[in-house]
Amino acid sequence: MSGSSGRRKRKIRWSKLYSYGCFRPPHTLDSDPGQQLLGQPGFSRVVFCNEPQLHKAKPYKYPKNYVSTTKYNIVTFLPKALFEQFRRVANLYFLLAAVLSLNSFAPFNPISLIAPLVFVVGVSMIKEAVEDWHRFLQDLNVNSRTVRAHVGGGLFVEKTWQGLCVGDVVKVNKNEYFPSDLLLLSSSFEDGICYVETMNLDGETNLKVKRSSEATLDLANDQAFSDFKATIRCEDPNPHLYTFVGNLELNSVTHPLCPATLLLRDSKLRNTDYIYGVVVFSGPDTKAVRNSTRSPSKRSRIERKMDLVIYLLFSMLLLISLITSTGFAVLLKSQMVKWWYLSLQDDDPLFKPDPLFKPSAPEVSGFLQFVRALILYGYLIPISLYVSIEVVKVLQAMLINKDIELYDEVTCKSVQTRTSNLNEELGQVEMILTDKTGTLTCNQMEFRKCSIAGASYGGNINKIDCAASKRMNVEVESYRFSMDEFETQSQSFEMFDFSVADVSTEKAALAGQKHMQNSSADCSRISSAEGEPAIKGFNFRDDRLMNRKWVYRSNLFDVTMFFRVMALCHTGIPVDGDQAHKLKYEAESPEEVSFLIAAQEFGFQFFQRSQSVMYLKEFDPSSGKVVERKYKLLNLLEFCSARKRMSVIVSNEDGEIFLLCKGADNIIFDRLADNGRSYQQATTLHLSDYAEDGFRTLAFAYRKLDAVEYEKWNSIFTEAKTTIGPEREEVLIEASEMIEKDLILLGVAAVEDKLQKGVPECIDKLAQAGMKIWLLTGDKKETAINIGFSCSLLRQDMKQFHLILGKESAASNRLKMKKDILNQLEGFQKVKSEERNKDAPLALIVDGKVLEIALRSDVKDQFLPLAVDCASVICCRVSPKQKALITRLVKEHTGKTTLAIGDGANDVGMIQEADIGVGISGMEGMQAVMASDISLPQFRFLGRLLIVHGHWCYKRISKMILYFVYKNIAFGLTLFYYEVYTSFSGEVLYDDWYMALFNVILTSLPVISLGVLEQDVSSEVCLKFPALYQQGQKNIYFTWSRIIGWILNGIVASLVIFLANICTLSTFNKDGSFAEKAFAKDGNVADITHLGAMTYTCIIWTVNCQISLIITHFTWIQHLFIWGSIIIWYIFLFIYGALPPDISKRGFRVLAEALGPAPIYWLVTLLVVVVALLPYFIHIAIQRSFYPLDDHVIQEMKYWRKDIGNNNLIWEREQNNSVMMTQIGFSARVDARIRIMKENLNQKGQLIYRSVTSSPIFRSLTSSPI
């Protein structure tokens, strides 16, 4: 194992080059105020390095490195799962009913109530256990990752993450994740430097530079750890990602530690071969885990509303139970005491008294009858509803998981519904909060365009302009001029005011007015953003620069200097490439890598660097050959968020000294010399075009330095670098300002933070579906805005509100900062109210520092209403805690269903806070996936998940619940009517087996098929008309009006069924009493057995035919379940009647001998079904004819082919209506672009018309006689 310790250390000592960041002179213990806190509460942790055995006993026993995201464990599963089940009011009721059924006066056998309750609760608990088991397996996958850990004697062996303990020394290799929070001891660089990617924690794409303490730099190989012992005293575990206070006691010397020495779990080692570190915080103590919360138990809005429906049904149950008990008590007191047959029991000593019949205490009998009625009418409360929904949701989740359209062939991953409780919630999402890096973007930068010496290169027509031009070709006719003599190509070309790359593209655009049918050729000029470029990181197409043709440009020196800045102004390192003569690069930021690749393609290959020299292979225009040149690196002024620029000072082989600078355009423009602004105006126009395309831009400039001036400045800068104290950073910045001035602008380079495949199209569909999308990122504001344009969350005509703190406010106290924010919010509201166009799109861009104050209780009431009213909100520089807080406040303030989607550990908080949490199972860690309710391979699948499956699941569950309410009311109320009919006798109309089979067998399968297979429209139609999704957002299928309507429908059906059967089998005497009619040919009358079987048959037919009217998408499965359930009833009735009388009791041969031969039995069934379903049929006929919903219109278009004769005009009209109110997304940007083009066309047309009509020739023609 120790053989690997011989890996050669990299000789570059970055600490000698860097000026800022963590590379400050070693500070003393006295200079750091945090050191004074060690040993006090909150700063009491002690870690014994390389001695993990000391942490196995108190007081230094710490948690192991095992991390769990499960809801339950073996101990907590039973109590927590039971609590979850009995949070449901229906289950509470049936628990009470099961307990009461143990009494002697219960109408049913106790088993008939206890068994269904145990089954329902048991199935739900098993489902919870299975879903939590899958979470456990994913946890096991992460916890089973391996890392090399020191076991003694300089030997490192593979060890699982969960097996690590505090104090273990580990070795992490390049591109591996850190298994826990580690103290960096040494690295493959001599000065203990390493590069860390924290994108999984804070969303930032730039690499962070970490540095070990100088005391541990000699721990250079495996063997060096054989005798290593040290003690760390530091802060206790906390969620703060950017703070760390501690010291290292080594060889009786104490060395201070800072955040730059701590490597956090879930961050990744980059551009460094290996590092050694010691575990400081493990498992639940790590900062990443501390930023997450336990998996919450989430319930959908429909399920919570279903509890209210149960309360309503329970109120009905109480009402009819009260009527039953009151009626019984009144009859018992007034009439039953006179009925002679009820007094026979007094004379029979063997007769057991009925506890309900106590004439002497009618109040007691009435109360007992009330309790009995609560159990008898319990069928009003659908106990099987919950278990049916659980089964349906599991089957829905299986269908979603098996959807081939949600499978990513690149990663070989598909969607995984980790929690099926929220299926219907997917159809009601109104707010989406998304991460940027790894969620919308691939974290891959591509060089796309550049502006050099005032000329733009690589700029083909973008997709927005191409789509707008094709639509303008159809609509622009009404905007053209009617004067034939002025309809020339030059005038028609005015509508194509594009930024094109070369003359051929201009000609193609010009020719497009007459030959627009050749649109595929035009669109082929769009840069291949969607396809994979031939060279990774370089997606540039322009013949004027490629293949060394830049040597023919007029401003050759400026072009050459532009490429030199690109090749020299960086911190990159060349590594071996896959192709001959092609290198790969590693750098702090992906932008630098793309610049180095681009420079290589243009003929300026950076191929080697030493401590102070950088080597290029340049194409020499004069000789036409590639020559090697070396540049001495004199100073490096690295990039930081405050400076927003980076500079290097180099001297070439001729001794000339140049300052090469790149940075934000506004920063560079402020530092230009008077003679360095030649290209500023043209460059500014190009910057605007690049920004609209969503590209990141950096301006390039240079300055030639005099040797004397440089030496003078260098002495000042060197003195600033050696300054010790808090003012060091400020002194360094002032020194940099002295030299970074009087620059000469060369141009700008544009790189694209490449979006994942299909992201703009997905956002467009989501926007058309009525969803608002908020972007929450840890990246800087400029980057976030670029991505906003790139994925069409922003558009050029959108008014942007930038809520930021000025320099003065940022440096002041919180009271002044709060006042500044409130003033800005008040100003934004004023601008918004004064806006003439109330539908004008607004965007809000917020900084993380502002959010700290804006989310406080006294400011959020002004901030949140403005943010929610904006079409797009972008929050940048936000921490994981802020993401979670924003999600919670948006959810609480709006009351709308929120969905959060992310891919990193920094997104876990918002994923768990949102109503629905979606994790991206991409290339990064699995923390987001393990905390999510649903995982997706890529963001683009979110569109189909919500618009198709969410829409279907919402309507399926809504219809299913309403149907359950209907069928249980239709069935349960017949028991009540029979009680009233029999003077509250307490006799049960139906056989016990009939009661047991109703919900379990005879009506269960059709409703499950409804919940699993129902489709109002196909998936293609859902995606073509995303506005259909808004039915779920408005909850139009589960409103109280619909709920009450279905309850009334059930009441009407129960009345029709019961009265039809009673009237058929009975007649009225002259005194108004009922008398039985002949039922069979021999004159026999029907008894309770016949009445019960006939009524039950009518119920089975009615509820199963009713569901056939609800279903809009039939398959053979629905037909089998619906008509099969009816057939099963007859089969059961026949077999049950064939059993011996001691088993079948009063059902003995009831079908074969009594009901079957009686024609009235079949006629009543037919009549009842028709009459009972007539109200619903009339309702849907009226609704579809006069008040159709969107899905009704589309169904008619599809099934009645209404669009065929109208050239698809109806389809196009409905599609246009779908995007009419959309303010973000690709379609909205195209519409905005068309409006701008039409306005420009109209203005230019008027200008031409005025110039022509005012010309002397026109005047002479119009004034001369004909």
Query: pLDDT of 885-921, one tens digit each?
Result: 899 999 988 889 999 998 877 788 899 889 999 998 8
Residue 483 confidence (pLDDT): 31
> Is the per-residue pLDDT at 528 higher than 50?
no
Count of CB atoms within 10 A of residue 642's CB? 9
For the segment 245-253, the average pLDDT, to the nearest whole number, is 89
Average pLDDT over the chain reads 81
User: How far apart (Å, rounded) are the C-alpha atoms in residues 135 and 140?
Assistant: 9
Q: Which residue type is seen at 542?
A: D
More confident of the two residues 1086 and 1263: 1086
CA 661 from centroid of its chain's CA atoms:
39
Contacts of 694 (CB under 8 A, 6+ apart): 752, 786, 787, 788, 789, 790, 791
> Is the per-residue pLDDT at 1123 higher than 90?
yes
Dmax of the chain from CA atoms? 132
Phi, psi for 215 (deg, rounded to 5): -70, -20
Residue 486 confidence (pLDDT): 34
> Is the per-residue pLDDT at 445 higher than 80?
yes
Residue 1170 confidence (pLDDT): 95
More confident of the two residues 147 and 362: 147
Q: Which residue type is seen at 500?
A: V
More confident of the two residues 3 and 946: 946
Contacts of 870 (CB under 8 A, 6+ apart): 801, 842, 843, 844
> Is the per-residue pLDDT at 218 higher than 50?
yes
> Is the per-residue pLDDT at 950 higher than 70?
yes
Contact between residue 1261 and residue 1253 where contact means Cβ atoms under 8 Å apart: no
Q: Is 254 helix (H, G, I), strand (E, B) or coil?
A: strand
Q: Is 1201 helix (H, G, I), strand (E, B) or coil?
A: coil
Residue 343 confidence (pLDDT): 59
Q: Is 203 left (phi over 0), alpha (psi -120 to 50) or beta?
A: left
String of DSSP letters for 330-372: HHHHHTGGG-GGGGGGGG-TTPPPPTT--TT-HHHHHHHHHHH
Residue 820 confidence (pLDDT): 85
- The catalytic site residues sit at 435
String of DSSP letters for 430-487: EEEEE-SBTTTEEEEEEEEEEEETTEEES-PPPHHHHHHHHHHHHHGGGGS-S-GGG-
The CA radius of gyration of the chain, in Å to the nearest whole number, is 39
Instruction: List Cα–Cα distances, 1021 to 64, 405, 425, 612, in angstroms.
Output: 52, 15, 21, 63
The residues that bridge with 437 in the sheet, in sequence order, are 441
Name the strand (E) or helix (H) holding 852: helix 848-854
Task: Give the tens place of pLDDT for each residue, 1137-1194.
Answer: 898 888 888 788 888 888 888 888 999 999 999 999 999 999 999 998 898 888 888 8
Assigned token pair, 1128: 């099963």
Task: Give the tens place of pLDDT for each residue, 1194-1228.
Answer: 888 777 655 444 445 555 665 666 665 677 888 87
Residue 621 confidence (pLDDT): 87
Per-residue pLDDT band at 484 (split at 50, 70, 90)? very low
> Is the per-residue pLDDT at 540 higher than 80?
yes
Q: Are strands 441-452 and 573-576 parallel, antiparallel or unpaired?
A: unpaired
Residue 614's nearest CA partner among 559, 656, 557, 564 is: 564
The residues that bridge with 615 in the sheet, in sequence order, are 608, 630
Phi, psi for 1178 (deg, rounded to 5): -65, -40
Where do we find the tokens 């007691």? 364
Contacts of 164 (CB under 8 A, 6+ apart): 64, 65, 147, 149, 170, 179, 180, 279, 282
Running DSSP on this structure, what letter comes out for residue 538? B
String of DSSP letters for 68-116: ---S--TTTHHHHHHHHHTTSHHHHHHHHHHHHTTSTT-SS-HHHHHHH
**Lowest pLDDT segment from 64-68, 937-941, 1205-1209:** 1205-1209
> Is the per-residue pLDDT at 352 higher than 80?
no
Residue 337 confidence (pLDDT): 61
**Lowest pLDDT segment from 584-588, 618-622, 808-812, 1255-1259:** 808-812
Per-residue pLDDT band at 1135 (split at 50, 70, 90)? very high
**Lowest pLDDT segment from 85-94, 432-441, 1122-1131, 1193-1202:** 1193-1202
Per-residue pLDDT band at 503 (split at 50, 70, 90)? very low
> Is the per-residue pLDDT at 510 higher than 50?
no
More confident of the two residues 344 and 326: 326
More confident of the two residues 918 and 1073: 918
Count of CA atoms in the C-beta half-sphere (13 A) of 151 = 10
> Is the per-residue pLDDT at 10 higher than 60?
no
> Is the per-residue pLDDT at 672 higher than 50?
yes
User: How far apart (Å, rounded) are the C-alpha atoms in residues 771 and 794?
Assistant: 15
Q: Is 489 exposed, middle or buried (0-12, 13-18, 19+ CB in 10 A)?
A: exposed
Task: Give the tens place of pLDDT for each residue, 958-1015.
Answer: 999 999 999 999 999 999 999 888 888 778 888 888 888 888 888 989 999 999 999 9
Task: Give the tens place of pLDDT for each residue, 124-179.
Answer: 888 888 878 888 888 888 899 999 999 888 899 999 999 999 999 999 999 899 99
String of DSSP letters for 696-713: EEEEEEEEEE-HHHHHHH
User: How far apart (Å, rounded) are the C-alpha atoms in residues 822 and 860?
Assistant: 10
Instruction: List Cα–Cα distances, 135 to 132, 142, 860, in angstroms.
Output: 5, 11, 36
Q: Which residue type is seen at 842?
A: L
Task: Give the tens place of pLDDT for each residue, 861-885.
Answer: 888 888 988 889 999 888 888 888 8
Residue 699 confidence (pLDDT): 94
User: How far apart (Å, rounded) are the C-alpha atoms in residues 979 and 451?
Assistant: 88
Query: Over pLDDT 90: what percentage of the chain?
Result: 31
Running DSSP on this structure, what letter comes out for residue 145? -
Sheet with 253-257, strands from edge to edge, namely 45-49, 230-234, 246-250, 253-257
Residue 130 confidence (pLDDT): 85
Name the strand (E) or helix (H) holding 374: helix 362-376
Phi, psi for 628 (deg, rounded to 5): -95, 130
Q: Are strands 772-776 and 799-803 parallel, antiparallel or unpaired?
A: unpaired
Assigned token pair, 208: 């962070």
User: How far apart (Å, rounded) are the C-alpha atoms in residues 373 and 107?
Assistant: 8
Residue 1120 confidence (pLDDT): 95
Contact between residue 821 and residue 854 where contact means Cβ atoms under 8 Å apart: yes
The residues that bridge with 752 in the sheet, in sequence order, are 446
